[in-house]
């Protein structure tokens, strides 16, 4: 079963040809409660609570800072 990105209105899905061709990677939320809370806040969705299976795609990260 493919993993979907949890970001609002994102249609990225792990394991598809388009995501592989574009180099999109999927990341689990951290297990550390403080870091997980920071990530969840950054997603900016009302009442969002990530679980161990929640993923977010690399399109929503800022690299090189």
Q: For 32-44, how does the pLDDT look when each residue is reduced to its tens digit (9 = 90+)?
A: 999 999 999 999 9
Contact by Cβ (8 Å): 58, 12: no
Report the alpha-carbon distance of residue 35 to residue 21 in Å, rounded.
Answer: 30
Please, what is the average pLDDT of the chain? 89
Query: Model-level pTM?
Result: 0.81
Q: For 50-65, how does the pLDDT look when each residue is reduced to its tens digit (9 = 90+)?
A: 999 999 999 999 876 6
């Amino acid at each position: 079963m493919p993993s979907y990105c949890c970001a609002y209105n994102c249609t990225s899905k792990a394991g598809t040809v388009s995501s592989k061709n574009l180099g999109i990677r999927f990341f689990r939320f951290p297990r550390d409660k403080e870091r997980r809370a920071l990530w969840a806040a950054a997603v900016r969705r009302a009442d969002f609570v990530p679980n161990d299976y929640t993923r977010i795609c690399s399109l929503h990260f800022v690299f090189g800072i």
